[in-house]
Structure 1
Amino acid sequence: MEAAENKWMNVGMLIVATIVVGKLISALLMSPGSSRKRLPPTVGALPFIGGLLRFLKGPIVMLREEYPKLGSVYTLNLVLNKKITFLIGPEVSAHFFKAPESDLSQQEVYQFNVPTFGPGVVFDVDYSIRQEQFRFFTEALRVNKLKGYVDQMVMEAQDYFSKWGDSGVVDLKYELEHLIILTASRCLLGQEVRNRLFDDVSALFHDLDNGMLPISVIFPYLPIPAHRRRDQARKKLAEIFANIIASRKSAGKSENDMLQCFIESRYKDGRPTTESEVTGLLIAALFAGQHTSSITSTWTGAYLLRHKEFLSAVLNEQKDLMKKHGDKVDHDILSEMDVLHRCIKEALRLHPPLIMLLRSSHSDFSVTTREGKEYDIPKGHIVATSPAFANRLPHIFKDPDTYDPDRFAPGREEDKAAGAFSYISFGGGRHGCLGEPFAYLQIKAIWSHLLRNFELELISTFPEIDWNAMVVGVKGKVMVRYKRTELPLN
């Protein structure tokens, strides 16, 4: 098996070499047309593929090295004449977030998702169809739907933590990952999956997840074992959801979950969604939310258990809400948890799971830095910004490497003081994350239960960042000692 995989890796390198030669010939034949433009400074790298190697080694490391020298706008030569231009900070990234798809496109840079999500959805369709499919997501996440989802989130948390003993030691990262997938299965995939098919579907999603490798970004269809398992899992998931959809339709059943919303969705011309589209949209929804929510839940807990003053603040907030509402937890009560919200938001500022956002430029545009420098960004560049780097800019956030949820409190609101797109953990503008409200509610539902029912102590070292993951998360275990208790109201 290993020999076969090495063979296909060699084939992949041969394809890369062919592309490089083609790019070289193209570059030699092209006449320079950018001499009159105010081009951004260029990051130093070895010729031909030096920029690509430097980028793959670690984009955040490169950004930390180059930002102090080159400022908020600069270009890296990836492979010959293929360039990526970084826009760092709200002063230069407005066009990135606000430009129409015809100018800055997601489709080309995120094509590697197509084998996982499947045909006919998201990045495998033109922009007009994709916008309609995003409308389906929006409708599935309206407040009236979210209220029903919250009830399910609360029930899942109560059931999961009821299985803990009176005291013990757990890996918080492991526990939250499993609870998040259970909650997502119930709210998104439906009770058929949650109650009867959870183990089967979880295993298939695991194969889908493991089929998303760094090499998949460049060669998503390379016939390596991980990709073959991914494709087989995608096919089996399609069969499972086709059966569930057919069963619901024949029985006339209607459930409160995202699956039902997608089944009932209609395009503007009246056409209903197909079974394949419903499956693809569900996979996209789960991929968008599962890892990000479990990672953020873990960071939230690690920081609270490390910073006792903020732990006391969220505990006092829970006491106040229990005096006001009793033990009840619903959508509206979760929405009152402003202190917990700020703690989650600060964990996300420091550790956004998606460290790079990318677009493909279809037209020339210009940006002006906060120092007044103007740069022209040519058509054909990949354009990038980085939540992981931009969220720690010292001219926007005071002591940016310090955990301080109060920076978002009324009167400070550092994320708003510098204008739009200062805080970009959920992206922003035309392509802002549709699942942001769902994510906050899910994490609040989990942590409000933990805070009310357990004393927790972090007994392992504070976790490190796992930069090697496709979605950047928590490295290693997060060991916590717990003791079951009731939150006192005095």
Structure 2
Amino acid sequence: MSFVETLITEVISILQLSFQFLLNLSLAQKIGLVIFTPFIYNIIWQFLYSLRNDRVPLVFYWIPWFGSAIPYGMQPYEFFGRCQEKYGDCFAFVLLGKTMTVYLGPKGHEFILNAKLNDVSAEEAYTHLTTPVFGKGVIYDCPNWKLMEQKKFAKVALTRESFIKYVPMIREEVLGYLGSSELFHGESGKANVLKSQPEITIFTASRTLLGKEMREMLNTDFAHLFGDLDKGFTPVNFVFPNLPLPSYKKRDNAHNTIATTYLKLINSRRSTNDIQDRDLIDALMKNSTYKDGTSMTDREIANLLIGVLMGGQHTSSSTSSWYLLHLGEKPELQEELYNEIKSVLGDRKEVTYEDLQNLPLVNNTIKETLRMHMPLHSIFRKVMNPLRVPDSKMIVPVGHHVLVSPGFTMTHEKYFPNPDHFEPHRWESISGVGGSASSSDEVDYGFGKITKGVSSPYLPFGGGRHRCIGEQFAYVQLGTLLVTFIQEFKWTSKLPKVDYASMVTLPEEPAEIQWERRH
């Protein structure tokens, strides 16, 4: 008998003995074996992993598959901080069956956000999460070069000339909301910012980017639909894009309702050939042809409009909620802002785009809020080719994910002293952080030149080819809103904790301000 035949015989014999052993076990023993075998395998696998010197350190975990999902999901920054103390800036953890390699700090920003397109993929990391929210054919549900072109299509609504027109529109919308909402009825009262700010954000964004005609079709129920879409961004959605749960049904209904509303207006304009230069809808209908000659369908245009609005919804609604809550604890800072606004506007109430550029404390308040509360606490990429960690022998294998957290860096005392203290004045003495780069440090990925440097500790809008194109619009929207609130109200509040249940860093309930009208 040959060696191979002998080996096969021995294996069969062992399997038969093992099967007979299992049959002889009691029911309780069989159940115990089923329960404990995955845990034993999990511990053995982690031990063998720890012996490899070509892998980054792995955070130990007890529960198979779930890994570190609970500590990461509940308090990601605290989790990162504990891991950093034990393992250094680079480590890995298991999140619901996926191995995530984290690299903290500016070196991590450079490693992940400026990684080669062939080595890491945002599309592969996010498409199952974002496609149900945004829709087919846009953002991460298409090749990267198409996404870059879609950004170029959308940027026509994000020019300086556009911003000049947007400021009075935003102010008009905010004043209209403050005058009609039950949250701000009378001379004083209490308002939940988790209700008011998403509504104000979607109304102002729709009025400016999508035009008056679309804005007139919207009401507060429409703003709530974007809230249902927001709930599609959770760690559970990241792993399971489709489950028979109420939140998933609300997400899908919200997408279909919003897309149908946009399509209704697009079809109306096409049927009457009423395509001008009024808004982003007109711009996309006139100019959304890719470099390969194909054009976006009307449904894809509607989906892209959802993506554009959602991007602003995340940033502006969460940021304005947070700066109202922080300022509620600092009445003296509210008065400083009021005096700065008066010094620039004089007896005028109306603010202009040029005025916003001359209000450093207003802009620094926004900047400080973004430092403490970056809307997305984690940014992912999926590894497509073996990725070497700089200055080491460690390799991140294909199929794993890499994770970077600018929000963690921006709240670390190494880069920002007393990081938990809300202090807009800190930016008066900080230079070069998050500032503009020289022309030699710029690159055009297809939607206009941006800085390619991502080694700054301050990156509230991300970096690299996926840097948010709406940064300037966010400052215009948030600045106009803040000026209007300061002109209209004084308020107090108690700062709540951060809710990390979704992938957006929102305040926990109750998130309320006690306001009174300013006379």
Partner residue in 2 for 1:154: 171
| Bigger shift: residues 414-423 or 477-486 | 414-423
Check if 1:355 corresponds to 2:389. Answer: no
Find the residue that maps to 1:273 and give its secondary structure. coil
CA contact (8 A) 1:171 1:477 kept: no
Per the alignment, residue 9 of structure 1 pairs with none
- Distance in 1 (CA, whole Å) between partners of 2:198 and 2:228 is 16
- Give deviations 1:69-94, integer Å, cap 9, x for gaps: 211111113467x4211111002320
* Displacement of 1:410: 4.4
Q: Do the aligned partners of residues 68 and 210 (structure 1) sit closer, same or farther apart at CA in structure 2, a change above 3 Å counting?
A: closer
1:335 equivalenced with 2:357 (yes/no): yes
Matches of 1:331 and 1:197, distance apart in 2: 26
From 285, 289, 306, the equivalent of 1:263 is: 285
Q: 105, 109, 126: which one pairs with 1:89?
A: 105
Q: Find the counterpart in structure 2 of residue 280 from structure 1.
A: 303
User: 49-58 or 420-429, which moves further after superposition?
Assistant: 49-58
Of 205, 208, 211 in structure 1, the residue corresponding to residue 229 of structure 2 is 208
Which shifted more, 100-109 or 471-480? 471-480
Matched residue of 1:396: which SS?
coil
**Counterpart Cα distance in 1 of 2:456 and 2:281:** 32
Q: Are the aligned partners of 2:74 and 2:501 in contact in 1 as well (CA < 8 Å)?
A: no
CA distance 1:303–1:206, shift in 2 (3 Å): closer
Match of 2:301, as an amino acid?
A: V
**Which deviations, in whole Å up to 9, do the C-alpha atoms of 1:33-84 show, x marking residues without a partner?**
x9563x322211126325253444543332122111211111113467x421
Report the Cα distance in structure 1 between the residues aligned to 2:293 and 2:160, rounded to whole angstroms: 25
What amino acid is aligned across from residue 168 of structure 1 in structure 2? S
Decide whether the 8 Å contact of 1:416 with 1:422 is kept in 2.
no
Residue identity matched to 2:459: I
1:368-412: per-residue Cα shift (whole Å, max 9, x none)?
A: 5xxx87754344321101233111122211111111222222455
- Identical counterparts, % of pairs: 29
CA displacement, residues 331-371 of structure 1 (integer Å, 9 cap, x when unaligned): 22112222111111111111112111111122334445xxx
Pairing 1:309-348 to 2, within 5 Å after superposition: 309-323=332-346, 326-348=348-370
Amino acid in the other structure paired with 2:155: T
Q: How does 1:33-44 map to 2 (within 5 A)?
A: 35=52, 37=54, 39-44=55-60
Code of the aligned partner of 1:71: G
**Shift, 1:117, TM fit:** 1.0
What SS does the corresponding residue of 1:169 show, helix, strand or coil? strand
Judging changes above 3 Å, is the alpha-carbon distance between structure 1 residues 207 and 295 closer, same or farther for their aligned structure 2 residues?
closer
How far the C-alpha of 1:222 sits from its partner, in A, is 2.5
Picking from 497, 505, 512, the partner of 1:464 is 497
Counterparts in 2 of 1:259 and 1:170: CA distance versus 1, 3 Å? farther
Report if the CA contact (8 A) 2:363-2:475 is conserved.
Answer: yes
Aligned partners of 1:92 and 1:196: how far apart in 2?
Answer: 44
Q: Give the direction of change, closer, same or farther, for the CA distance of 1:403–1:76 in structure 2 (3 Å limit).
A: same
Q: How do 1:373-412 and structure 2 match up within 5 A?
A: 375-410=394-429
Write the distance in 2 (CA, Å) between the matches of 1:474 and 1:434. Answer: 25
CA contact (8 A) 1:397 1:414 kept: no
- Correspondent of 1:307 among 330, 351, 361: 330
1:244 equivalent in alignment to 2:265? yes
Partner of 2:509: 476
| TM-score for the superposition, normalised by structure 1 | 0.83
Q: 1:205 to 1:386 in 2, by over 3 A?
A: same
> Which residue does the alignment assign to 2:238?
217
Written as runs of structure 1 = structure 2, the 5 A alignment for 1:159-174 is 159-163=176-180, 164=184, 167-173=187-193, 174=195
Q: Which sits farther off after the overlay, 246-255 or 123-132?
A: 246-255
8 A contact 2:275–2:285 mirrored in 1: no
Show the 5 A alignment for 1:132-151. Answer: 132-151=149-168
The match for 1:191 is 212
Cα separation, partners in 2 of 1:200 and 1:346, compared to 1, 3 Å: closer
Alignment of 1:383-462 (within 5 A): 383-410=402-429, 420-454=455-489, 456-458=490-492, 460-462=493-495
Offset, 1:151: 2.6
The code of the aligned residue for 2:99 comes to: K
1:75 and 2:88 correspond: no
Q: Is the 8 A contact 2:382 2:399 kept in 1?
A: yes
Asked if the contact 2:328–2:513 (Cα under 8 Å) also holds between the matched residues in 1, the reply is no
Deviations 1:127-147 (A, max 9, x none): 121211121222321222222
CA 1:228 to 1:274, structure 2 compared with 1: closer, same or farther past 3 Å?
same
Name the CA distance, whole Å, in 1 between partners of 2:326 and 2:225. 33
SS in 2 for 1:110: helix
Q: What SS is found at the alignment partner of 2:216? A: helix
Q: Which amino acid counterpart does residue 310 of structure 1 have in structure 2?
A: L
Residue segments in structure 2 that go unaligned for 5+ positions in a row: 1-33, 437-452
Residues 163, 353 of structure 2: 8 Å contact kept? yes
SS of the equivalent of 1:124 reads: coil
* Pair 63,180 (structure 1): closer, same or farther in 2 beyond 3 Å: same
| 1:178 counterpart (199, 214, 223) | 199
Contact 1:264–1:273, Cα closer than 8 Å, also in 2: no
Q: 1:213 to 1:91 in 2, by over 3 A?
A: closer
- Given that 2:378 and 2:403 are in contact with CA atoms closer than 8 Å, whether structure 1 keeps it comes out as yes
Number of residue pairs the alignment of both structures matches: 454
Structure 1: how far apart are the matches of 2:291 and 2:474? Answer: 28
Please state how far the C-alpha of 1:200 moved relative to its aligned partner: 5.9
Name the CA distance, whole Å, in 1 between partners of 2:92 and 2:215.
47
Distance 2:511 2:66 in 1: 37
The separation in 1 between residues aligned to 2:403 and 2:123, in whole angstroms, is 14
Per-residue deviation, 1:276: 0.7
The residue type equivalent to 1:404 in the other structure is: E
TM-score by length of 2: 0.79
Q: CA deviation at 1:251?
A: 4.7
Alignment RMSD: 3.2
Contact 2:163 2:473 in 1 (8 A): yes
The answer as to whether partners of 1:115 and 1:231 remain within 8 angstroms in 2 is: yes
226-235 or 69-78: bigger deviation = 226-235
Matched letter for residue 215 of structure 2: R
Q: Which has the larger radius of gyration?
A: 2
Q: CA deviation at 1:203?
A: 5.1
* 1:480 partner amino acid: I
AA matched with 1:438:
F
Alpha-carbon contact 2:229-2:254 (below 8 Å) kept:
yes
Question: Cα gap change, 1:117/1:138 in structure 2, threshold over 3 Å: closer, same or farther?
Answer: same
1:98 to 108, 111, 114: 114
Distance in structure 2 (CA, Å) of the matches to 1:347 and 1:40? 33
Q: Deviations over 1:13-48 (max 9, x none)?
A: xxxx9xx99xx99x99xx99x9563x3222111263
